[in-house]
Amino acid sequence: MSRFEQAADAAWTPMFVAWIMALVSTLAALFIGEVMGQLPCDLCWHQRVFMFPMVAVLGIALLRSDAGGWLYGLPLAALGWLVAAFHNLLYFEIIPTAIKPCGEGPSCSGDGMTVLGSVPLPLLSLAAFTIIIALLLIVRRRSSP
């Protein structure tokens, strides 16, 4: 087995888990929007822009056994994380804001937008991006010669 194949094998599991996380997050967002009929706020839309393509990017990397797929997924996850972090700072009123991401139109601050009655969706999004970033950094470390 070549060194490249060994690196790809070592990186496959964390890449797969990152892909599963992106897939579950995407399906959950689609379920909330399409089945439950709850439209996302502006910042939730922006987070979707970074989460949804990761399903394809990481999936293709897995199909090709490309350990270098972290290079394409990490920028998407990092940008999504920044939006999610900002959203949480606004949601938990840690920073004051002149804009209200959930003020006009749909709101993610209602009781219907929590999981288990107390975990808000913006916090779940931040957790998902954080986990994906950690997993892709593991892939990076394992795929380095």
Q: What is the CATH number of domain 3-143?
A: 1.20.1550
Mean pLDDT of 10-22: 95
Alpha helices in the chain (DSSP H): 3-30, 42-63, 70-91, 121-143
For 48-75, the pLDDT digits (tens) are: 999 999 999 999 999 999 999 999 999 9
- Nearest C-alpha neighbor of 65 from the set 3, 19, 5, 21: 5
Whole-prediction pTM = 0.89
Question: Long-range pairs for 31-38 at CB < 8 Å and ≥24 separation?
Answer: 32/113, 32/121, 36/112, 38/106, 38/112, 38/113
Contact call for residues 74 and 136 (beta carbons, < 8 A): yes
* pLDDT, tens only, 94-141: 887 665 555 555 666 666 677 777 888 899 999 999 999 999 999 999
Between the alpha carbon of residue 53 and those of residues 56, 78, 92, the distances in Å are 5, 13, 28
Q: Please report the pLDDT score of residue 6 as a whole number.
A: 63
Q: Where are the domains of the chain?
A: 3-143
In sequence order, what are the beta bridge partners of 114? 120
Q: Count of alpha carbons within 13 Å of 30, Cβ hemisphere only?
A: 9
